[in-house]
């Protein structure tokens, strides 16, 4: 039986630039950085918030993955929960992160959307229970 989600892929143009954004700007841990297969130039780069079970793979699609190459920078399928969106907003603004949507309070909580180094939108939410 499946017991958890292992990884989620974010498709990127530049793995080093994406790794820098997710580790240095968002503060994620670098879990793995290894060749995708022996002799490969692309890598399996996995990052995650500290203590998270699910990892994000920063995946560079090659010529065999044309569909995924077309979605780089257009994704908004990933979301993160935070305890204090106001503080995170200030921290990320100070680091020069682009906000596609400034924090917006809704009946279920507050959300914002940031842009990663590759142009992907990342939804950040502070659930009402926080």
Question: pLDDT tens across 32-83, in order?
Answer: 999 989 998 889 999 999 999 999 999 998 766 666 767 777 777 788 999 9
* E strands in the chain: 7-11, 29-35, 43-48, 55-59, 78-81, 99-106, 109-115, 121-127
Q: Which two tokens stand for residue 87?
A: 């503080």
Residue 100 placed within a domain? yes
Q: What is the CATH number of the domain that holds 64?
A: 3.10.180.10
pTM of the complete model: 0.86
CA–CA dist 67, 72 (Å, integer): 9
Q: Which two tokens stand for residue 37?
A: 């297969």
Which position has the token pair 């490969």? 40
Residue 29 structural domain: 7-127
Residue 1 placed within a domain? no
β 121-127/78-81 pair status: parallel
> Does the pLDDT of residue 105 top 60, yes or no?
yes
Domains contained in the chain, number: 1
Residue 113 placed within a domain? yes
Residue 2 placed within a domain? no
Please answer whether residues 16 and 30 qualify as being in contact, where contact means their C-beta atoms are separated by less than 8 angstroms. Answer: no
């Amino acid at each position: 039986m499946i017991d958890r989600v292992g990884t989620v892929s974010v498709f990127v143009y530049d793995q080093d630039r994406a790794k820098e954004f997710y580790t240095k700007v968002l503060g994620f841990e670098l879990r793995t950085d290894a060749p995708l297969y022996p002799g490969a130039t692309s890598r399996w780069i996995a990052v995650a918030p500290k203590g998270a079970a699910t990892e994000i793979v920063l995946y560079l699609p090659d010529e065999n993955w044309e569909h995924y190459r077309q979605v780089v920078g257009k994704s908004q399928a990933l979301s993160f929960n935070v305890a204090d969106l106001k503080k995170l907003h200030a921290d990320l603004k100070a680091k020069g992160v682009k906000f596609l949507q400034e924090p917006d309070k809704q009946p279920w909580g507050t959300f914002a959307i940031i842009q990663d180094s590759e142009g992907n939108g990342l939804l950040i939410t502070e659930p009402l229970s926080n």
